[in-house]
Amino acid sequence: MNEQQTQQTETLQASTTLPKSARVVVIGGGSVGASVLYHLAKLGWTDVVLLEKNELTSGSTWHAAGNCPNFVGSWTMMKIQSYSTSLYRELGALVDYPMNYHVTGAIRLAHSRQRMEEFRHVERMGRQMGVELQEMSNKDMQDIYPFLETHDLYGGQWDPYDGDIDPAQLTQALAKGARDMGATIVRFCPVTGVKWNKGEWTISTPHGDIQAEFVVNAAGYRAHELGKMFGRDVPCVSLAHQYLITEAIPELTARDSKLPLLRDPDSSYYLRQEKDGLLLGPYEKNCRAHWLTDDDPMPDDFSFQLYNDDLDRLEWYIEDACARVPILGSGGITRVVNGPIPYTPDGLPLLGQMPGVPNAFEACVFTFGIVQAGGAGKLLADIIVEGEAETDSWAVDPRRFTDHVDTAYTAAKAIETYSHEYAMHFPQIQWPAGRKAKVSPLYERLEAAGAEFGAYGGWERADWFPKAG
């Protein structure tokens, strides 16, 4: 064994001192798992342990773009995200850890009156929880983003507390805060099995067993794999999300401050400054899912790994963004990141009681895990410690999906959700993928009578009967 291998072995052994028991065991060391641990400790539950199969952040966290918007069309998710952005602004000082958090503000573009009406709806919802989103004219946008072409825009919206954060620093800050309050983190300690016996969990690892009263699945895109150990079929599909980073652009090097983050929901991409270059991340229509079949199995370990670049899928979006911000086209591409992001059928995470499993919880399948980690950790810690969250959390409750949600359904809906990530979600809008999962004996009669159907818990239900013409 050479010197480097000896050091690696010593590091591994130092990282696997496993306690015999804990009140809560959190499985998964990304931003969400670290946040759950931090918030449990903050509520006084310090006999808590986090197990990570590799190093902290080795899943989707390490390659995340790290954007932190407050804007979202769901009341529950806005509460979660606005709590996160508020926490992150003070987290470095709270835990005495350096934080690379750029609160640049963000502009969201509207190409139409309908899009602006959506912005106004979210703006008024945000006002109820202290999120001060503001409407912008084209001139307002050009004043703070001079490289922006606005000739064909209807207007925009400003989020003063949007920005980007270093995902690794965020996770390490939460981990340090949890450790400082007495929590334990054991790295390089994969879970190999779980067993429920006489009111407690036995969690098995290569380094021994640990007993726990409660357990949390925070395994990110590996949540389905871990869920099987609990007899649970977690609805989770990994989609490939790509973003590219340009080389330094002279116009940005010459600036004294960073550009605001820019989102064009009608063209479906985000664009932000990364050092002296730009980072472009589209949500493309022809997206791709991975690890769905026996011919494409999930690797035993995908830690700190990426998929191969696939920029052909992004060609239209790159051209559109270059027309919107012409300086983007002046910088060559220095890096492409193409990594797995987990999706549920509706794009919202699983956060709450594990269906049908005692003393087990889920905090997993986060599509926007960086901005949602802070609020998610608080919400789940409240549920575990207090028995309920302080706000309605049904939108993220794992029990919202029933037995019709299999792998094929999850993949179809996840791909649809990803490709409509920035679409306008009108009230009661019904997307077509995965439909007719459940039909009643009356379905054909209602259909013959001209019914327009909506899907509710998988069931096709007649919403209305339009009259001719």
CATH classification at residue 329: 3.30.9.10
Q: Which band of pLDDT confidence, cut at 50, 70 and 90, is reported for residue 220?
A: very high
pLDDT digits (tens, 9 = 90+) for 85-139: 999 999 999 999 999 999 999 999 999 999 999 999 999 999 998 999 999 999 9
Nearest to 343 by CA among 222, 236, 242: 236
Transcribe 319-355 into DSSP letters. HHHHHHSGGGGGS-EEEEEEEEEEE-TTSPPEEEEPT
Do both 276 and 396 map to the same domain?
A: no
pLDDT digits (tens, 9 = 90+) for 121-134: 999 999 998 999 99
Asked if 185 and 52 touch (Cβ cutoff 8 Å), the reply is yes
Task: Indicate the average pLDDT of the chain.
Answer: 94
pLDDT digits (tens, 9 = 90+) for 380-407: 999 999 999 998 999 999 999 999 999 9
Q: Which band of pLDDT confidence, cut at 50, 70 and 90, is reported for residue 373?
A: very high
Q: Which band of pLDDT confidence, cut at 50, 70 and 90, is reported for residue 15?
A: low
pTM of the model: 0.94
Answer yes or no: is 450 within a domain.
Answer: yes
The backbone torsions φ and ψ at residue 183, rounded to the nearest 5 degrees and listed phi first, read -70, 160
Nearest to 346 by CA among 395, 383, 392, 393: 395
Do both 392 and 367 map to the same domain?
A: yes
pLDDT of residue 460: 96
Q: How far apart are CA 325 and CA 319, in angstroms?
A: 10
pLDDT of residue 327: 98
Range scoring the smallest mean pLDDT among 69-83, 261-275, 419-433: 419-433
Residue 301 lies in domain:
238-342
Do both 455 and 443 map to the same domain?
A: yes
Give buried/exposed letters for 102-132 (b at 16+ CB in 10 A, else e): bbbbbbbbbbeeebbebbeebbebbeeeebe
Q: Which residue has the higher pLDDT, 391 or 140?
A: 140
Do both 93 and 217 map to the same domain?
A: yes
pLDDT of residue 429: 83
CA angle 203, 205, 211 (to 5 degrees): 30
Do both 321 and 469 map to the same domain?
A: no
Answer yes or no: is 1 within a domain.
Answer: no
Tell me which of 352, 378, 401 is where a domain ends: 401
Do both 232 and 369 map to the same domain?
A: yes
Percent of the chain predicted with pLDDT > 70? 96
Do both 366 and 219 map to the same domain?
A: yes
Do both 177 and 293 map to the same domain?
A: no
Average pLDDT of the residues in 62-85:
96
